[in-house]
Amino acid sequence: MKNNYDIIVVGGGHAGCEASHVAAKMGAKVLLITMDMNKIAQMSCNPAMGGVAKGQIIREIDALGGMSGIISDKSTIQFRMLNKSKGPAMWSPRAQNDRMRFAEAWRLALEENPNVDFWQEMVTEILVKNERVYGVKTGLGVEFYAKSVVLTNGTFLNGLIHIGEKNFGGGRAGERSSKGMTEQLVQLGFESGRMKTGTPPRVDGRSIDYSVMEEQEGDEVPGRFSYLGDFNNYKSQRSCHITYTNEEVHESLKKGFDRSPMFNGRIQGLGPRYCPSIEDKINRFAERNRHQIFVEPEGWDTIEVYVNGFSTSLPFEIQYEALKKIKGFENAVMFRPGYAIEYDFFPPTQLNMTLETKLIENLFFAGQINGTTGYEEAACQGLVAGINAWRKINREPEFILSRSEAYIGVLIDDLINKGTDEPYRMFTSRAEYRILLRQDNADIRLTRKGYEIGLASKKRMKLVEEKQRNLSDIMKLLKEESIAPEVVNETLQSLNSSPLTQKVKLAQIVKRPQVQLLDLEKGSSQLKEKLSNYEVEVKEQAEILLKYETYIEKEQKIAVKLNKLENLKINESLNYSEIKAMSNEAREKLEKVKPKTIGQASRISGVSPADISILMVYLESRNN
């Protein structure tokens, strides 16, 4: 039996799948070990990908050559671009997915790669010698050896499921938890903690009255995640629906608060602040008499429905009583109740920016083991860990994305330098360069990087180069071509925009907030003809670049200025306790994180600008 590999990936969730895919695609011999091969890429929570900031992450994964965008496109049942009423930095793609087809597509994609092998069992131990990992050991005592190991254990490490006053071990409903790994890692010197997350009941769609709910349709012209654009060939979409809780629902739920594991102290882990349980929402927002519920289909053909917004760990009978008082759910038939799950995680300040652990060489952590929540956050960590695991064992430079290059860079930088004491979720507000990090330009930002490391394909690179040429052509046309008042004034008046009195450049009109390039095309057959050969996405991007030209240039200048700090290296052997002028907290944090650059040091929680100034003076005096 083959038991020697380049890389072993432990866990078959979103992080594990991306780590296995990218490493194998780049040439590594990979073993993916999971407790149940039928649950590879399981959508444990809602059947959806993307959303605010998360959609940008999926686009970035795709641009680099990852698979999450392609898999999502293959299983999409509804696509929407969120926040279109706001500025383009806020636009975020989101897809409802067929849960079963999503998992099937991921498994088939991995099976098609001859560099990926599989083993179904629980890993109970990592094999370590001289502070370096060299393999794993399973519950059956089987040992597999590798040059590098990536742990993507999700919610399975000592997972404990809570439903009311009952609790039992499990990593997901119907699946056992993973034992032994946390205890060994703690013995090796790692710090661990506990977190919690939750999920709502699943309901029989045939028992729901959709006629009394608000229908939420997909976009009229559905988009896609992947820049390759070959995979979303669906001709129809499935609608979601919106309903609301009410005061009667809240009163029913309150009856179970004394038996809620969250309120009686049996759950110790911290839950996600931005995705609270229904009982937490009622308790924290007592002034609100209703909360929104999204009714989401689980797939094209299944009758199972996900009740988004009703996550709960209350006793089953309380859940059911309250659920039936929601408009449209009066006759609801429940498939399974909601539950909360507690699990172990390891504070991510114990990692390098590559997601390699500081204590054990060639051991990488990715996903919820690092304190994050969400498929997208997990997938991008798996991608970065998989890339760096392969590059490390081949003695190639680290692959690190900066905060000005990608949301992925923001996420990893936040985790490493600030840590997290609650499940970390990505938002656009976390990114200081969000005008640069839009969902429409992820391929232009990142595909060349993916291509240069052997991950993004030649086809992707050619598409990006063609897009850049087309974008340049459109920008040149708009900046050089003038338009006459008689051609455009009727369109401008219909948009409540001031009419022209003389010819002006098209770019000046496009920069007006009320005007879109599409409107000008409709009003001018000549312009429409000149732009007919360009894709809508490219024309849209040209419009964004014109409208936000000043803001984009400003952010680029700030990014260049701050990125200079990333080139100021710090020797890892530096003893911060010697720098007496610095605050005690700063010395402790810097000693713990061991930043590699002044830029990284400046972003560590508890390190002030004054501390950075002192550090720079100290380093300069030492160099002199």
Residue 244 is predicted with a pLDDT of 97
| Helix/strand/coil for 14 | helix
CATH class of 568-623: mainly alpha
pLDDT digits (tens, 9 = 90+) for 7-29: 999 999 999 999 999 999 999 99
Give the ranges where 453-505 is alpha helix by DSSP (H).
458-480, 485-494
pLDDT at 603 over 90: no
Helix/strand/coil (H, E, C) string of 499-526?
A: CCCCCEEHHHHHCCCCCCHHHHHHHCHH
pLDDT value, residue 581: 87
The residues near 192 (Cβ < 8 Å, ≥ 6 apart) are 182, 185, 186, 344, 345, 346, 347
pLDDT band at 567 (very low <50, low <70, confident <90, very high): confident
* CA–CA gap between residue 324 and residue 253 (Å, rounded): 12
Q: Return the residue matching tokens 């007592």.
A: 286
CA distance 49 to 93: 9
The pLDDT of residue 132 is 98
Q: Taking residues 517-542, report their average pLDDT.
A: 89
Distance CA 152, CA 11 (A): 5
Please indicate whether residue 585 or residue 11 has the higher confidence score (pLDDT): 11
Sheet containing 92-97: give its strands across. Answer: 48-50, 92-97, 76-82
CATH domain 458-550 topology: Arc Repressor Mutant, subunit A (1.10.10)
The per-residue pLDDT for 470 is: 96
What percentage of residues in the chain have a pLDDT greater than 70? Answer: 98
The closest alpha carbon to 16, from 41, 50, 43, belongs to: 41
- Residue-wise pLDDT for 81-139, tens only, equals 999 888 888 999 999 999 999 999 999 999 999 999 999 999 999 999 999 999 999 99
Express as a percent the part of the chain with pLDDT over 90: 70
Q: Which residues contact 349 (CB under 8 A, 6 or more apart)?
A: 415, 416, 417, 419, 592, 593
Mean pLDDT to the nearest integer, 311-315? 92
Cβ contact 157:343 at 8 Å: yes
Name the band, by pLDDT with cuts 50, 70 and 90, for residue 274.
Answer: low
Return the DSSP state at 53.
T
Find, among 153, 57, 171, the residue nearest to 368 by Cα.
Answer: 153
Nearest to 453 by CA among 377, 384, 376, 355: 384
- Domain extents for the chain? 202-340, 458-550, 568-623
Long-range CB pairs of 607-614, under 8 A, 24+ apart, other chains included: 608/583, 610/583, 611/582, 611/583, 611/586, 614/579, 614/581, 614/582
Residue 230 has pLDDT above 80, yes or no: no
What φ, ψ does residue 286 adopt, rounded to 5°? -60, -25
Average pLDDT, the chain: 92
Measure the CA angle with vertex 556, ends 551 and 561; round to 5°. 130
CB-CB contact of 58 with 419 (8 Å): no
pLDDT for res 380: 98
Q: What are phi and psi of 465, to 5 degrees?
A: -65, -40
- The burial class, CB within 10 Å (0-12 / 13-18 / 19+), for 371 is buried
Is the Cβ–Cβ distance between 388 and 355 less than 8 Å? yes
pLDDT band at 624 (very low <50, low <70, confident <90, very high): low
Q: How many CA atoms, within 13 angstroms, populate the side-chain half-sphere of residue 371?
A: 25
Provide CB contacts within 8 A for 54, sequence distance 6+.
92, 94, 374, 375, 376, 377, 426
- Distance separating alpha carbons of residues 10 and 31, to the nearest angstrom: 8
Q: What is the pLDDT of residue 602?
A: 87
Give the number of other CB atoms < 10 A from CB of residue 265: 8
Q: What is the pLDDT of residue 387?
A: 98
The answer to whether 426 and 376 have CB atoms below 8 angstroms apart is yes
Tell me how crowded residue 569 is: count the other CB atoms within 10 A of its CB: 11
- Round to whole Å and give the CA distance between 477 and 169: 63
Determine the 3-state secondary structure of 29 from DSSP.
Answer: coil
Average pLDDT over residues 178-186: 93
Quote the tokens at residue 27.
């040439």
Which pairing describes strands 92-97 and 76-82: parallel, antiparallel, or unpaired? antiparallel
The residue among 525 and 302 whose pLDDT is bigger is 302
Rg of the chain on CA atoms, in Å: 26
pLDDT at 533 over 70: yes
Task: State how far the Cα of 80 lies from the Cα of 85, in Å rounded to an integer.
Answer: 13
**What is the SS3 assignment for 7?**
strand
pLDDT value of residue 229: 80
Write out the DSSP string of 365-411. Answer: E-SGGGTB-SHHHHHHHHHHHHHHHHHHHTTPPP----TTT-HHHHH
In this prediction, residue 169 carries a pLDDT of: 86
Relative orientation angle of helices 54-64 and 375-393, to the nearest 10 degrees: 30
Tell me what pLDDT residue 12 has. 96
Residue 1 has pLDDT above 70, yes or no: no
Cα separation, 166 vs 163, in Å, equals 5
458-550 matches 202-340 in CATH topology? no
Question: 477 exposed, middle or buried (CB, 10 Å; 0-12, 13-18, 19+)?
Answer: middle
- Per DSSP, the three-state class of 446 is helix
- Count of CB atoms situated within 10 Å of the CB of 303: 15
Residue type, 429: S
| Weakest mean pLDDT among 145-154, 240-249, 427-436, 518-527 | 518-527
**Are 344 and 196 within 8 A, CB to CB?**
no
- pTM: predicted TM-score of the whole model, two decimal places: 0.92
Interacting residues of 75 by C-beta distance below 8 A, sequence separation 6+: 97, 98, 101, 102, 105
- Rounded to whole angstroms, the Cα distance separating 329 from 393 reads 55
Q: What is the pLDDT of residues 41-83, one digit of tens each?
A: 999 999 999 999 999 999 999 999 999 999 999 999 999 999 9
- Between CA 356 and CA 597 the distance in angstroms is 17
Q: Which CATH architecture has domain 202-340?
A: Beta Barrel (2.40)
- In the prediction, which pLDDT does 511 show? 93
Q: Has residue 445 got a pLDDT over 90?
A: yes
81: β partners: 93
* Other beta carbons less than 10 A from residue 236's beta carbon: 9
Contacts of 571 (CB under 8 A, 6+ apart): none
